[in-house]
Amino acid sequence: MTTERILLVKLDHIGDVLWATPVVSTLRKHRPQAFLAMAVSEYAMDVVKDNPFLDAVIPVPYAWHNDRGKVRMLSEKLKDFRFDQALVLDPVEWSNYLAFLSRAPKRIGYFYRDKPVTWLKALFHLTRRIPHPSQSPPFLHEVEVMLGLLRRIGIAGEYVEDVLLPIPKEDRAWAEAWLRGHDLSRPLAVHLNKEWFDFGWPRELFFRLLDEILAAWPREGILLTYGPWEEGLYARLSEEIARRPLIVSVGGLPLLRWAALLARCRALVSMDTGAVHMAAASGVPVVTIFEWEKELYRTYVRWVPWRAPYRCVFKQFNNLNQRFGDLYAASSRATE
């Protein structure tokens, strides 16, 4: 009997790749003998590299579709796997194209009805196209949307809905030792990125939140994290941060060490970033802050933390004091 060979395509951000792991777990549960591979963006590869239900992880370089050499390299690599079918878990033109390059006879994915160019290309790249359910109520979470794709290939019954982020023991041990070395036990984490200061939110409001947190929980302290893209922003704020000795900062960590630190925190306050969803994967309460957009406000349930305690706050250009009050209240409730 020939082993079924399935490619999953998810060329998206850290949180989105995390949300795709229930698809992996469910496929393994229902197709235990299948060969399962997942194509993901290089920078999100650590999310799934130790997933026990995957047989292969295929890293996809940034902007690969603009480089003929990278397209050719990926095409040859995918061809060697001899996939029977490809499931595209994000309705994005280049994800569909990657599935096409795999040469899988069956290529299934979603499309947005209000994006005619992408839809026309999907006619060529996919053998089966399904309207994305997010464009009409009731709005589903992205985990539910991706699991819904499995029904289209005949997988029925019980689904595994928990996300899976395997954190190696050595990274957990490192995080415990690092926190102990900085006199932190269960700090409240805040993730820094440039979106904090969009839509008229001044830096004074950000530091006011930090001061309120320190006043409310002086014994816990704050763990301030930032990624490689925020190093310049952190440098500009570092002098003001240094005036607050109860804030301990760390940045530029490997993804799974960062996840191990967040897993040991009391709660996390962050813009809607991968930090939110890594913390949520470990059951850490989170306050997630969304940019204020009418359409996003209508459909934000698609992107809230999955199966973890959370509060949401929306930014607005005006009424900053009210927004700060909402944010501080949400932070307080998250740590209760």
User: pLDDT tens-digit profile of 12-45?
Assistant: 999 999 999 999 999 999 999 999 999 999 999 9
- What does the pLDDT read at residue 270? 93
* Omega cis (within 30) before 218: no
- What does the pLDDT read at residue 329? 66
**Residues 32, 303: Cα–Cα separation, whole Å:** 30
pLDDT at 8 over 70: yes
- What does the pLDDT read at residue 325? 63
Determine the average pLDDT of the residues in 155-160: 90
pLDDT at 50 over 60: yes
Q: What is the DSSP letter of 106?
A: E
Lookup result for tokens 């490192």: 174
Q: Say if residues 225 and 261 touch (Cβ distance below 8 Å).
A: yes
- Contact partners, residue 286, CB within 8 Å, separation at least 6: 267, 268, 269, 270, 276, 279, 280, 305, 308, 309, 310, 311, 334
Question: What is the reported pTM?
Answer: 0.92
Query: Where do the domains of the chain lie?
Result: 5-151, 169-334
What tokens were used for 283?
A: 């059951």
- What does the pLDDT read at residue 335? 65
- Contact partners, residue 176, CB within 8 Å, separation at least 6: 264
pLDDT in tens, 208-237: 889 988 888 888 899 999 999 899 999 999
**Residues 69, 92: Cα–Cα separation, whole Å:** 21
Least confident of 42-46, 67-71, 138-142: 138-142
What is residue 83's three-state secondary structure?
coil
Least confident of 113-117, 141-145, 260-264: 113-117
Percent of the chain with pLDDT over 90: 66
Terminus-to-terminus CA distance in the chain, angstroms?
55
Q: What kind of architecture, by CATH, is found in domain 169-334?
A: 3-Layer(aba) Sandwich (3.40)
Tell me the pLDDT of the chain averaged across its residues: 90
Determine the average pLDDT of the residues in 46-60: 97
- What does the pLDDT read at residue 56? 98
Pairing of strands 267-271, 188-191: parallel
Q: Same fold for the domain at 5-151 and the one at 169-334?
A: yes
Taking each helix axis from N to C end, the angle separating 255-263 and 274-281, rounded to the nearest 10 degrees, works out to 60
Rg of the chain (C-alpha set): 21
- What does the pLDDT read at residue 133? 86
What tokens were used for 209?
A: 């939140």
- Contact partners, residue 29, CB within 8 Å, separation at least 6: 158, 160
Class of domain 5-151: alpha beta
pLDDT at 324 over 70: no
pLDDT at 67 over 80: yes
- What does the pLDDT read at residue 313? 82
Residue 1 vs residue 139, higher pLDDT: 139
What tokens were used for 272?
A: 């809607």
